[in-house]
Amino acid sequence: MTMNTVATDNPVPAGSEKHYLTNGHTLSSWLFTVDHKRIGILYLISLVVFFLLGGAAAVLFRLDLMTPAGDLLRSETYNKLFTMHGIVMIFFFLIPSIPAVLGNFLLPIMLGTRDVAFPKLNLLSWYVFMAGGLLALFAIVFGGVDSGWTFYTPYSTMYANSNVILAVCGAFIAGFSSIMTALNFVVTIHKMRAPGLTWFRLPLFVWAMYATSLVVLLGTPVVAITLVMIFVERLLHFGIFDPALGGDPVLFQHLFWFYSHPAVYIMILPSMGVVSELISAFSRRRIYGYKFVAYSSLAIAVIGFFVWGHHMFVSSQSVYAGLIFSFLTFFVAVPTAIKILNWTMTLYKGSVSLQAPMLYAFGFLGLFTIGGMTGLFLSTMATDIHLHDTYFVVAHFHYVMVGGGVMGFLGGLHFWWPKMTGRMYPEGWAIFAAIVIFVGFNLTFFPQFQLGYHGMPRRYHEYASQFQILHVMSTAGASILGFGYLIMTGYLIWSLKFGKVAGSNPWGARGLEWETTSPPPTENFLVTPVVKHEAYAYDVPSETSDVQEPRPEQHNV
């Protein structure tokens, strides 16, 4: 891999010209920035730290699970670690990941505008997020929270230690940050699209951000109120969820899943948006059935609000309620399957190039399909009775949320890395890491399906000895997976300084973000772009990707 090649189309090395990264080098120019791109980078750095913490917790308890007696850790420590892993990964990595990093960075550029609608609110959302995250981390690390990320009552309100309150508070605060970002996105998409950029010319990533934001706006207030109720019960001993005080323990589960099921879509819809971009760019054509893909995001978002009870088939919820929840859950499967069909059909007769971002998109397709398929076992009531709260569920949601969510995030990160940093990552290493991550992931989680069907309950520090062999396989896989993530972190950091300088459009992709320089100037475009084509107009001879500067004659309105 040559490091000293100067990109043909951009002879000026990144750093010496004016762009958003060179616009101020002081710490305060970052901490008080209202530039959506810099805020995206702030999020990226914070999220990587949270991800590494959550991942380290997982490595520890996976090592502990090598033996049936859990010889490495004590029960208390084990319980705290899986709680930390869950809370950090869900509230402080997966939920914000794509919207806060890629969404913040790209949405205004994709819309051809200068910034989001409310730039200061955008910065505030990062501070709020950090406040929530640090508070939760503090509670977890110094106090030790062992309620699991689900905070089920009455355990969380009456029996677990009082640091639960702080952790809950952290998640509650982070919820406001999501709301602020979502609000910003909705208004920006409605109001600030470039001239000519009609709804059906929007990139599918923007559609996905839109659907996600709606889910956030409708769902997050409910979980916020629920978390406040935990507060009130715990501190004021006001009976809401604890039957000893006259409350209803199952009420909490309803409220919690009313948010947390849609939250799965908050994690997965953005990833689907990224995958649409990747598949289109690396097969050089418009996504097959663009409208179906766009509408299916909305359909998933809407139906997703009516299926929460599928987490409660054995909770003593009425059998008729269970019936309805099971029924509706099957309906979510349809738009999801349609999307997979559309992505596959996009490849047909395309011009497919298997670069690292595309490998992640393929990884997404494979893992997410398995995640979705195993969801069928859980939405079918009779089989869920047996599988509920076993490792089968653990495997299922990791396939969906990591296989789906994280693969999309990593694919997107590689794809837009040259845009964000002005540098290419090393392709060979990236392909190697993508393969290591894929193999490690499957080895970690596939055995867990079998563990689950054979009855291994989740959240067990000690377990029956017949399960050991599958646990050892899973731990081996987790080590490989962790290794893959480390390689990736390493070469991405390396590339910041030594990566090949990227031109405006290294992939020959379509989309407004590829029409501006890499990294983009603070104002994104020197002149407001005018959109004349549908998204992904690969058949129309490009007006820009060969001409690297924004064209003055585009000036209009």
Partner 1 sequence: MNSVFNLFPEQASSISSEIDLLYLFILIVSVVFTLLAAFLVIFFAVKYRRRSEDDRPEPPHADSKLEIAAGAFLLVLLMGMFFWGAKLYFKGNRPPSDAMEVLVTGKQWMWKLQHPNGKREINTLHVPLGVPVKLTMTSEDVIHSFFIPAFRVKNDVLPGRYTQVWFEPVKAGRYDLFCTEYCGNEHSRMVGWVEVMEPADYERWLSIGTTAAASTAAGGGPGESPVDAGARLFAELGCVTCHNQNSGALGPNLTGVFGREETMTDGSVVTVDENYLRESILNSQAKIVAGYAPIMPVFKGLINEDQLAQIIAYIKSLNDNGTDG
* Interacting positions 219-278 with Cu ion (CB under 5 A): 261
The partner in contact with residue 326, picked from Cu ion, partner 1, none with C-beta cut-offs of 5 to 8 angstroms by kind, is partner 1
Is residue 323 near partner 1 by the rule CB under 8 A? yes
Of residues 469-508, which lie at the interface with partner 1 (CB under 8 A)?
Answer: 469-470, 508
Q: Which of 283, 439, 271 is nearest to 354 (CA)?
A: 283
| CA 211 vs CA 203, 265, 462, 551: distances in Å | 13, 9, 42, 32
Q: Which of 5, 29, 162, 353 binds partner 1 (CB under 8 A)?
A: 353
Is residue 459 near partner 1 by the rule CB under 8 A? yes
Of residues 525-544, which lie at the interface with partner 1 (CB under 8 A)?
Answer: 536-539
Of residues 501-530, which lie at the interface with partner 1 (CB under 8 A)?
Answer: 508
3-state class of 549 per DSSP? coil
| CA 247 vs CA 153, 255, 317, 552: distances in Å | 10, 14, 16, 67
CA dihedral 204, 207, 209, 213 (to 10 degrees): -170
Task: Report the nearest approach of partner 1 to the CB of residue 374 (Å).
Answer: 7
Q: Residue 457 has which token pair?
A: 């309950």
* Contact indicator for 161, 145 with CB cutoff of 8 Å: yes
Burial state string for 191-222 with b = 16 or more CB within 10 A and e = fewer than 16 = ebbbeebeeebbbbbbbbbbbbbbbbebbbeb
Q: Which of 373, 493, 496, 547 binds partner 1 (CB under 8 A)?
A: 373
The phi, psi pair for 457, rounded to 5°, reads -70, 155
Nearer to Cu ion, 205 or 257 (CB): 257
Of residues 225-244, which lie at the interface with partner 1 (CB under 8 A)?
Answer: 242-244
Whole-number Å distance between alpha carbons of 338 and 295: 11
Is residue 411 near partner 1 by the rule CB under 8 A? no
* Contact indicator for 551, 544 with CB cutoff of 8 Å: yes
Of residues 142-201, which lie at the interface with partner 1 (CB under 8 A)?
Answer: 146-148, 152, 154-155, 158-160
Binders of Cu ion: how many residues, by CB under 5 A?
1
The partner in contact with residue 323, picked from Cu ion, partner 1, none with C-beta cut-offs of 5 to 8 angstroms by kind, is partner 1
Task: Report the nearest approach of Cu ion to the CB of residue 263 (Å).
Answer: 9
Q: Compute and round to an integer the Cα radius of gyration of the chain.
A: 23
Task: Report the nearest approach of partner 1 to the CB of residue 242 (Å).
Answer: 8
Whole-number Å distance between alpha carbons of 510 and 32: 32
The partner in contact with residue 467, picked from Cu ion, partner 1, none with C-beta cut-offs of 5 to 8 angstroms by kind, is partner 1
Q: Which of 288, 445, 485, 525 binds partner 1 (CB under 8 A)?
A: 288
Task: Report the nearest approach of partner 1 to the CB of residue 126 (Å).
Answer: 33
Outline where DSSP puts E strands in 67-135.
none
Region near partner 1 per CB under 8 A, out of 28-36, 358-366, 427-435, 543-551: 358-366
Is residue 1 near partner 1 by the rule CB under 8 A? no
Encoded one letter per residue, x for contact with partner 1 by CB under 8 A and - for no contact, window 80-119 reads ----------------------------------------
3-state class of 513 per DSSP? helix
| Beta-carbon contacts of residue 501 (< 8 Å; ≥ 6 apart) | 6, 7, 10, 13, 14, 422, 423, 424
Is residue 62 near Cu ion by the rule CB under 5 A? no
Binders of partner 1: how many residues, by CB under 8 A?
99
According to DSSP, the residues that pair with 390 across neighbouring strands are 457
Q: Which of 209, 365, 395, 424 binds partner 1 (CB under 8 A)?
A: 365
Is residue 340 near partner 1 by the rule CB under 8 A? yes
Region near partner 1 per CB under 8 A, out of 34-42, 45-53, 267-275, 336-344: 336-344
